[in-house]
Amino acid sequence: MRGARDPRSARVPTTASAPEPGLGAVLREWGRIGCIGFGGPPAHIALLRDLCVERRHWLSDHEFEDAIAATNLLPGPASTQLAIYCAWRVGGIPSAFLGGLSFIVPGLILILALAALFLAASPPDVVLGAGAGAGAAVPAVALQASARLAPASWRRTASRSRWIAYGLAGALAAAALGAWVVLVLLACGAVELTLQRSRSSDGGIAAVHAWPLLGVAGTGSGGLLALAWVAFKVGALSYGGGFVIIPLMQHDAVETYHWMTDAQFLNAVALGQITPGPVVHTVAVVGYASAGIGGGLLAALVAFAPSFAMVLTGARRFDVLRASPTVRAFLDGAGPAAIGAIAGAAIPLALALTETWQLAVLAAAAVALLVLRRGVVTTLIAAGAAGVLAAALSAPLPS
What's the pLDDT band for 236 if we cut at 50, 70, 90?
confident
pLDDT for 99 equals 96
> Could you count the other beta carbons within 10 Å of the beta carbon of residue 10?
10
pLDDT for 179 equals 67
Cα distance between residue 297 and residue 300, in whole Å: 5
Residue 399 makes CB contacts below 8 A (sequence gap 6+) with 261, 263
Most confident of 49-53, 118-122, 333-337: 49-53
Q: Rounded mean pLDDT of the chain?
A: 83
> Is it the case that residue 274 has pLDDT exceeding 90?
no
Average pLDDT over residues 148-152: 83
Give percent of the chain above pLDDT 70. 87
CA torsion, points 52, 55, 61, 64, in degrees to nearest 10? 10
pLDDT for 1 equals 39
Average pLDDT over residues 294-320: 90
> Could you count the other beta carbons within 10 Å of the beta carbon of residue 108?
24
pLDDT for 7 equals 37
What's the pLDDT band for 240 if we cut at 50, 70, 90?
low
Cα distance between residue 238 and residue 337, in whole Å: 11
Tens of pLDDT along 284-304?
A: 999 999 999 999 999 999 999
What's the pLDDT band for 18 if we cut at 50, 70, 90?
low
CA torsion, points 371, 375, 130, 349, in degrees to nearest 10? 60
Counting Cβ atoms within 10 Å, is residue 304 exposed (0-12), middle (13-18) or buried (19+)? Answer: buried
Q: How far is CA 257 from CA 178, 250, 290, in A?
A: 14, 10, 9
pLDDT for 241 equals 62
191 within 8 A of 335, measured Cβ to Cβ: no
> Is it the case that residue 40 has pLDDT exceeding 50?
yes
CA torsion, points 261, 266, 268, 270, in degrees to nearest 10? -170
Average pLDDT over residues 206-214: 41
Q: Looking at this protein, which amino acid is placed at residue 328?
A: R
Tens of pLDDT along 60-88?
A: 887 887 788 788 778 888 889 999 999 99
Cα distance between residue 258 and residue 189, in whole Å: 32
pTM for this structure? 0.78
pLDDT for 220 equals 53
Q: Residues, the chain, total?
A: 399
Q: Which one is predicted more confidently, 239 or 89? A: 89
pLDDT for 222 equals 67
> Is it the case that residue 100 has pLDDT exceeding 90?
yes
> Is it the case that residue 215 has pLDDT exceeding 50?
no
Q: Which one is predicted more confidently, 68 or 53? A: 53
